[in-house]
Structure 1
């Protein structure tokens, strides 16, 4: 058998299943909460069954131990069915016999054994009914199966109550009946909620992929329009220069100079395009900084002007990242405050944090010199305020600093 993977169509069931597995990881915490709740109820039913069995003086210890071990095997079988359900797809069959036959047989065997030991019909039916609720039912069919299972369990509970003396195990009997009747409904509701979250997660991922695809198409279109136009112009200018080379040298040289200017224009346009796609809105920069500080255990808050996206991102973006890094390295780690506001014809960015007890008064942080140089290049200023328990950096830049930065950025001067 060959080990090479065979490409599959984009809309095939295999692709859909792999997508389901990948997307489900984003909401895995909710899944494990669901599993834990169901297992808690199932273990409660096993415990109630043991109480009913133990209350009968005629039952030997071996029977009690067998019911307990069988109950644990049933719980393990439902875990296997739940794991299989997590990775289900809408196109999958109701039962995957090769993977689900053994858990179903274990549930049936436990139900028959425990029901015979207890002499209770509800104990014999519940394990298999619960396992059937975990199969890949369609939504409408699952509700009808739930109603049938719940009605059957209620009827069996009434039969057991009328046919069996349960007075000696009243507490265990009440717990057993309550948990048994509620469990299928709880299972279906939990799986329905999980299906909703999984579909929402897949929709979110699909929307993200669509947005990324649209962005790639937009980038490709911009690059094509920019480079295609300039390259076509350059090609025509070079062709004309080649034709004029033997007839009019001065005119040919003029066309070569024009081609060189077109190339420089294309280079500048490409740099401007790359800068536009690299820029992150300052509102997002500050939100990322707050998230990073909070992830490190710092109580961070921010105040951002409504028009913050108009601030010079090429200057303040690196400043926000560098000052946030300095707070993480040199701050006390308890609190931090960030703000970005407009003041007349300038933008004021301020970040304050508690000072670390082991930080010397002369320690400005390793990035403040670079911040000062960057802001000075665009006509801005940096102010450092040290207090006994507080350290503040204030950066002010002109509102037109982006245009200045484009001219003075040494990386653009080639």
Structure 2
């Protein structure tokens, strides 16, 4: 397992990519919600101005200038999207243009209508959308809300609005504009925090897995290497005086090497295990790629079969068919029985094929199956070769 690719794999998995697309979609929902609020307010002011004794050009000034202001707000929202990647504070130099646009639109629209609230509302809304720190942002929102409410009372006292306009309407959007905008951004912040926590969890899991593999390898190899070193040291001392005893120690050291190699192989197999359905699909595809006609019968509940026992068996027997079969057909079957699970692989043997015996591959299969308290049957006919393996159910299933 590579220490570099494990986190990348966690980030590029289908689930992670799907979640990343969901994060992007949610961002656009958030930005659209903020822009929708602003467009509705601009439209409300434009409609309200038509009911008062103002120039016919005023609604168009408010509408066109409001759209420009909304477009400038997109720059603020895009900057806010990456707020967790930015440093503390507000990048005033980069955000000067959208803030100037908001101030200019407010000044022009407020002067045209004669409303203090409209004059300061765009700039106030833009300031609320900046990348404030959490405690400061709350104070900014409260201050902006109180300012807009106060200006609504000022406009009401000067008679700016049409008499038929409900008096409470400016108060409602004075309170709702900052609160709804910040609520949308807060929801986005929560979603980003959850996504980063998921990514951190995936990286932590990969790191823990690497540490566990490293610990197991260290314990396994450290034990065997220590034993081998002692056996070789003892053989070195015995060979001059007692060659037979020294040779016995060399033989024991060689067996320790074999045990270490087998232990390492078993450890790698355990960490590289894949679902049995995938093992069988890979075996089938491999045999078909070799030109064989393959029939596969897989129990629907194959996911509950002991993969650690049967996975290596499937790989070894598939290799055995490719190496020694020489036929044209093969059959794979994994079925549940009353005693547990039964795996069978049958292939035809080409006429005149040389019989090399069962070989070390099937010997390893037999040893592994015996350790799993299962059984192995090998049938060698004139034109057919079959390997049948039975194993008890998995421990989790048997409980």
Please state if 1:43 is matched with 2:52. Answer: no
Deviates more, 1:221-230 or 1:196-205: 196-205
Partner of 1:224: 218
Shift of 1:87: 1.4
Shift of 1:219: 0.8
Please state if 1:30 is matched with 2:26. Answer: yes
CA distance in 2, matches of 1:113, 1:106: 11
CA contact (8 A) 1:226 1:269 kept: yes
Please state if 1:141 is matched with 2:136. Answer: yes
CA distance in 2, matches of 1:250, 1:241: 10
2:338 to 341, 344, 347: 344
Rg bigger for which structure? 2
SS in 2 for 1:167: coil
CA distance in 1, matches of 2:209, 2:20: 25
CA distance in 2, matches of 1:284, 1:84: 45
Give the alignment of 1:8-23 within 5 angstroms.
none
CA contact (8 A) 1:121 1:156 kept: yes
Shift of 1:85: 1.6
Partner of 1:203: 197
Q: Deviations over 1:142-201 (max 9, x none)?
A: 233222222222232232233235338849x98776445312101111222222222222
CA distance in 2, matches of 1:81, 1:318: 60
1:113 to 108, 129, 138: 108
CA distance in 1, matches of 2:340, 2:309: 15
- From the superposition, tell whether residues 284 and 133 of structure 1 become closer, same or farther in structure 2 (CA, over 3 Å): farther
RMSD over equivalenced CA pairs, Å = 4.1
Please state if 1:186 is matched with 2:180. Answer: yes
CA contact (8 A) 1:283 1:309 kept: no
CA distance in 2, matches of 1:33, 1:176: 26
CA contact (8 A) 2:89 2:131 kept: yes
CA distance in 1, matches of 2:342, 2:104: 73
CA distance in 2, matches of 1:91, 1:80: 15
Q: Which runs of 5+ in 2 are unaligned?
A: 1-18, 280-299, 315-333, 348-368, 370-374, 378-387, 395-399
CA distance in 2, matches of 1:206, 1:129: 36
SS in 1 for 2:213: helix
CA contact (8 A) 1:234 1:262 kept: yes
CA contact (8 A) 2:274 2:307 kept: no
Please state if 1:215 is matched with 2:209. Answer: yes
CA contact (8 A) 1:45 1:176 kept: no
SS in 1 for 2:95: helix
What is the TM-score with the length of structure 2 in the denominator?
A: 0.63
The alignment of Structure 1 onto Structure 2 pairs a total of residues equal to 301
- From the superposition, tell whether residues 182 and 283 of structure 1 become closer, same or farther in structure 2 (CA, over 3 Å): farther
CA distance in 2, matches of 1:40, 1:169: 25
Shift of 1:91: 8.0
Please state if 1:400 is matched with 2:392. Answer: yes
Please state if 1:131 is matched with 2:123. Answer: no
Shift of 1:243: 4.1
- From the superposition, tell whether residues 144 and 348 of structure 1 become closer, same or farther in structure 2 (CA, over 3 Å): farther
CA distance in 1, matches of 2:189, 2:81: 9
Partner of 2:229: 235
Q: Deviations over 1:323-363 (max 9, x none)?
A: xxxxxxxxxxxxxxxxx9976322599xxxxxxxxxxxxxx
CA contact (8 A) 1:26 1:201 kept: no
SS in 2 for 1:98: coil
CA contact (8 A) 2:39 2:70 kept: yes
CA distance in 2, matches of 1:29, 1:122: 34
What is the TM-score with the length of structure 1 in the denominator?
A: 0.61
CA contact (8 A) 2:109 2:119 kept: yes
Shift of 1:311: 3.4
Partner of 1:359: none
